[in-house]
Amino acid sequence: MVLKIRTYPDPVLRGKAKEVTNFNGALQRLIDNMIETMYAAPGIGLAANQVGVLQQILVVDINARQQAEYPLIALINPRIITAEGKAEGEEGCLSLPGFNAVIERAEQVFVKGLDREGKPVDIEATGLLAVALQHEIDHLMGKTILDKASPLKRSLYKKRALKKSAAE
Ligand code: NI
């Protein structure tokens, strides 16, 4: 089932997602729906906050953009263990329609988390995968690329988005 993607200024995007402790059928359905929603958008990543759920779940699949070592990733309770180097690149976000900004990220990250069955997984990521994981982990902490953009870009987008939501 394709879920509704929450967009700015929905307060759920500022919420901090809680650790997942129950790997039950409801979690499996939510993950399947998040995957379907990500592909339908289409996007290369989605965090649970973006579908209105404050649980630490993210899905990433960068294969639409480039050949990747990892196919589809569903990661629960992710933690960035090490982050090295710096890389700048243009990013967009499904929750911020019409917004793009050059964002500075770590070039390489080592991430630990759990797979959808609750088994520990380690991911060594560079390039676009590293960017996507950092972007989605930020979502789970209540942060978006709007927080990392320049103050001018941020205020212009906020004004535009607020005017649009007032008009709806
Ligand atoms: Ni995003």
Is 168's pLDDT higher than 80? Answer: no
pLDDT over threshold 80, residue 138: yes
Residue 23 Cα, ligand 1 centroid: separation in angstroms?
A: 24
Q: Please state the domain extents for the chain.
A: 11-167
| Model pLDDT, residue 134 | 98
Q: Distance (Å, rounded) from C-alpha 123 to C-alpha 155?
A: 35
Structure tokens at 110: 């080592």
Residues 6 or more apart whose CB falls under 8 angstroms from that of 46 comprise 5, 34, 37, 38, 58, 59, 60, 94, 136
User: Catalytic annotation on 69?
Assistant: no
Task: Say how far apart CA 42 and CA 22 lie, in whole Å.
Answer: 28
For residue 64, what pLDDT is reported? 82
User: Separation of 142 CA from ligand 1 center, angstroms?
Assistant: 11
CATH level 3 topology of 11-167: Peptide Deformylase (3.90.45)
pLDDT at position 136 is 98
Query: Residue 48: is its pLDDT beyond 90?
Result: yes
| CA of residue 126 to ligand 1 center, whole Å | 18
Which pTM value belongs to this model? Answer: 0.95
For residue range 106-127, list pLDDT tens digits in order.
999 999 999 999 999 999 999 9
For residue 80, pLDDT beyond 90? yes
Which of the four pLDDT bands, split at 50, 70 and 90, describes residue 29? very high
